[in-house]
Amino acid sequence: MTSEIGSERVERLLAELTLEEKLGQLTQYFYFGAIDGGAETADGAPTQPQLVEGALATGGAGALLFVNDPAETNRLQRQAIEGSRHGIPVLFGFDVIHGLRTIFPVPIALAATWDADVIERSQSVAAREARAVGINWVFAPMVDIARDPRWGRMIEGAGEDPLLGGMVAAAQVRGFQGEGIGSAEHVIAGPKHFAGYGAALGGRDYDEANISDQELWNTYFPPFHEAIKAGAGNIMAAYQDLNGVPASGNRWLLHEVLREALGFEGFVVSDANSVRDLETHHFAADLTDAGARALNAGMDMEMAIFDPAFGHLRAAVEDGRVDIARIDESVRRILTAKEALGLFDAPFVDEDAAATVLGDPAHRVAAREAAEASAVLLRNEGVLPLDAAALNRVAVIGPMAASARDTIGPWVFDYDLDETVTIVDGLRTALDGRAEVTYASGVPFDRREFPSMFEMFGDSGPFSPEDFDADAEFAHAVSDAAAADVAVVVLGERQDMIGENASRSSLELPGDQLRLLQAVAETGTPVVLVLMSGRPLDLRWADENVPAILEVWYPGTQGGAAIANLLLGAATPAGRLPFTWPRTVGQVPIHHAVTRSHDPQAQGRRYWDEQSTPLYPFGHGLSYAAFSYGAVAVSAGEVGIDGEVVVSVDVTNTSDRDGAEVVQLYLHQRYGSASRPLRQLAAFERVEVPAGQTRRMQFRIGAEQRRYWSAAIRDWTLDATTFDVWVGGDATASAHAEFTVTA
Ligand code: NOJ
């Protein structure tokens, strides 16, 4: 999709549109019709939906968002086409983050599969359902690197690492877009938020990010670059200040980096109201200034609820602050996207067919498989898999075990709770006629101190009733556990404690959950802790006292079925952590690719009160199978600066059970123009290894894997130096080799 010169149709439209019509094309409105239910305003002023429909009637909107009903998308599309003198259709954008009707595991869970096929398949199902209802553009994937789990939006991304993040980003873009924009049953993908949003100060959502140039180029930009290389048609700009300039008005970021360095050719959209926010930032003088500065920085489309700043741009054109050619460039990009999607020729969806697509049983199978692939077995001292034949009674404990709303997680809108399989449902079905499954919540649902921003959608999930008897319910759970062969304790964060605007200052299990876990463990019944979360929690006690811990994230529509399969051994866990798991919140931010300075001996114990090492390293995850690594071989001890070595290693499944291992290669540059991380993930592959068999893994390490942006020379570089290589199952891998690169 190139924007330098449009198709004949696009150029003809450009020549005919008035300035107001052009600015309309550059505006995306929220449409709150389904949310405010058509309520009238007290003073008789137009409601938000009426304002938007007024804009549609005059060709004043280029895109809408938050409409997901096929009859509504058709109705509004008809208004847009009839309202525009040239019959230009609108784009319908939506936050399709991990599924539309069929909900997949949350994005951090998909990343934990380390498996591009699973991720691509998941998002292609999401795209198919979205397109069926008239959505043709998704605000996903979120590719922000996150190293501070206090930031709730880490759940939407792929964690801490740029290489893994890049793979996950590209796979999602391919899933959403198919062969390319215009593929049937696919949509435009919009990687977000450009850039640095994940580095919000203190993990507080929307706070400023201050990121060094070397971190931007080496860590924060690469996932965007991979998404762009995979053909992403859209990029969303971030809300926050990046090094003192708001991302949405930052020309260096949106033009020099995004267009010139990363080669992006699609259209850039603002985050919700982030152009108007340039005034809030104390950056723009007024709305006209905000619109002018965003547009001149490289913003193509403004997402707004009302009164968009771009609607004020006539004044800026007239006084010369904005060049009409710059406006045309953005309009061309938007019209080109609409044309590539085929909207000029086929703007409507088949309302009857939508229900069939949304109900497709194959989508549920894909969701279950993705949930099975994403769970991470953090610890297992011989308890899992459970032996169904030896079980008479299983005690399932914890409020989320029976909560469909929590099973599917945050950032979903069109879900079906009735068809959602909770963990209690999943275990009851799997053990039907074989063992009794009891259920007790044990503790109440913890209410947030401040209401969730999603409560406007009625979306907080269940609350415990007013008359909830905490003591009685606690005792009930403990006695259930005492009478059972195994206790499956499902703990974590309810789904509205994580996501946008849901930062936490603590990583402890909320409420009384730890005390419940301790009381259940004291019964002497073996305990499996099943964790539902989108970030690491403080598991120090559990790691010492609970024999098995399975992180299942928010596993989606089929979550309970997948977890039952995992617990009972019908599926073998193979997920791996896409982030470093801290012991306590005091250690964050923490990640694996750090550099070393003074006194390596002291590095393990630099806190007065806590070790410096994480609880679980990046890449960690156990299996019911077991793997051993042979010696690491390098094809050459010495290569030239552009040369490549092939690193080989044998991975053997030493168990009697088939399983998948994620083989990870870490690189370390011993010296060079700048300090480099002690270990940096440089290659990986998820591989199925049947019981007793060996797989020879080979990884090519060439200039691309060694290149980095050096703060010393302020450019990309390749150093002549010696490299250490480690290959293994996590960031502490010990099988080692080395090679030297000569100038
Ligand atoms: C704000 C969020 O930051 C962004 O990710 C989302 O796509 C928009 N709102 C639209 O819902």
Instruction: Say if residue 63's pLDDT is above 70.
Output: yes
Per-residue pLDDT tens for 641-662? 999 999 999 999 999 999 999 9
Nearest partner of 374 among 498, 557, 553, 534, judged by Cα? 553
CB 697 within 8 A of CB 705: no
Domain 8-354: CATH superfamily is: Glycoside hydrolase, family 3, N-terminal domain (3.20.20.300)
Instruction: Say if residue 377's pLDDT is above 60.
Output: yes
The segment(s) of the chain belonging to CATH 2.60.40.10 are 627-742
CB 303 within 8 A of CB 273: yes
Per-residue pLDDT tens for 388-437? 999 999 999 999 999 999 999 999 999 999 999 999 999 999 999 999 99
Per-residue pLDDT tens for 661-718? 999 999 999 999 999 999 999 999 999 999 999 999 999 999 999 999 999 999 999 9
Instruction: Say if residue 187's pLDDT is above 70.
Output: yes
CB 396 within 8 A of CB 438: yes
Nearest partner of 474 among 435, 514, 503, 501, judged by Cα? 514
pLDDT number for residue 44: 84
Q: What is d(CA 218, CA 175) in angstroms, rounded to the nearest whole number?
A: 25
CA angle 525, 528, 534 (to 5 degrees): 150
Instruction: Say if residue 631's pLDDT is above 60.
Output: yes
- Nearest-atom index, ligand 1, CA of 197: 3
What distance in angstroms lies between residue 272's CA and the mean position of ligand 1's atoms?
Answer: 6
- Pure H helices in 133-248: 162-177, 213-215, 222-229
Average pLDDT over residues 64-86: 97
pLDDT number for residue 42: 79
CB 458 within 8 A of CB 423: no
Per-residue pLDDT tens for 281-295? 999 999 999 999 999
Average pLDDT over residues 512-525: 98
What distance in angstroms lies between residue 707's CA and the mean position of ligand 1's atoms?
Answer: 33
What distance in angstroms lies between residue 65's CA and the mean position of ligand 1's atoms?
Answer: 10
Half-sphere exposure of 118 (CA within 13 A, CB side): 24
**What single letter denotes the amino acid at residue 654?**
T
Please state, rounded to an integer, the average pLDDT across all residues of the chain: 96
Where residue 457 falls (left for φ over 0; alpha for ψ -120 to 50; beta otherwise) is alpha
pLDDT number for residue 40: 77
Q: Encoding tokens for residue 353? A: 């067919």
Residue to substitute in 67, 500, 503 for testing ligand 1 pocket (most ligand atoms within 8 angstroms of CB): 500
Q: Which residues of 262-287 are buried (b: 16+ CB within 10 A; e: fewer)?
A: bebebbbbbbbbbbbbbeebebbeeb
Per-residue pLDDT tens for 433-484? 999 999 999 999 876 667 777 766 667 777 788 888 999 999 999 999 999 9
Give the global pTM: 0.98
Q: Whose CA is nearest to atom 9 of ligand 1?
A: 272
Does the active-site annotation cover 271? yes
pLDDT number for residue 597: 84
What residues have CB less than 8 Å from 230, skipping those under 6 apart?
169, 170, 171, 173, 174, 177
Instruction: Say if residue 504's pLDDT is above 80.
Output: yes
Instruction: Say if residue 2's pLDDT is above 60.
Output: no
Nearest partner of 552 among 662, 423, 442, 660, judged by Cα? 423
Q: Whose CA is nearest to atom 4 of ligand 1?
A: 271
Per-residue pLDDT tens for 239-281? 999 999 999 999 999 999 999 999 999 999 999 999 999 999 9
Q: What is d(CA 651, CA 625) in angstroms, rounded to the nearest whole number?
A: 12
C-alpha distances in angstroms, 211 versus 181, 208, 242, 640?
33, 10, 7, 33
pLDDT: which is higher, 204 or 467: 204
CB 606 within 8 A of CB 594: no
Q: What is d(CA 297, CA 292) in angstroms, rounded to the nearest whole number?
A: 8
What distance in angstroms lies between residue 172's CA and the mean position of ligand 1's atoms?
Answer: 17
Nearest partner of 292 among 332, 244, 251, judged by Cα? 251
Neighbours of 202 (CB within 10 A): 13
Catalytic residue among 95, 144, 271, 538: 271
Q: Whose CA is nearest to atom 3 of ligand 1?
A: 271
CB 738 within 8 A of CB 725: yes
The segment(s) of the chain belonging to CATH 3.40.50.1700 are 364-587
Strand partners, 665: 683, 727
The segment(s) of the chain belonging to CATH 3.20.20.300 are 8-354
Residue to substitute in 139, 239, 503 for testing ligand 1 pocket (most ligand atoms within 8 angstroms of CB): 139
Q: How confident is the model at residue 533 (pLDDT cuts 50, 70, 90)?
A: very high
Residues with a CB atom less than 6 Å from ligand 1: 95, 139, 192, 271-272, 500
Residue to substitute in 28, 236, 268 for testing ligand 1 pocket (most ligand atoms within 8 angstroms of CB): 236
Q: What is d(CA 279, CA 285) in angstroms, rounded to the nearest whole number?
A: 6
pLDDT number for residue 456: 65
Under CATH, to which class is 627-742 assigned? mainly beta
Average pLDDT over residues 43-67: 94
Instruction: Say if residue 3's pLDDT is above 60.
Output: no
Where residue 107 falls (left for φ over 0; alpha for ψ -120 to 50; beta otherwise) is alpha
Per-residue pLDDT tens for 128-167? 999 999 999 999 999 999 999 999 999 999 999 999 999 9
What distance in angstroms lies between residue 238's CA and the mean position of ligand 1's atoms?
Answer: 9
Q: Which residues of 206-216 are buried (b: 16+ CB within 10 A; e: fewer)?
A: bbbbebeebbb
pLDDT number for residue 457: 67
Under CATH, to which class is 364-587 assigned? alpha beta
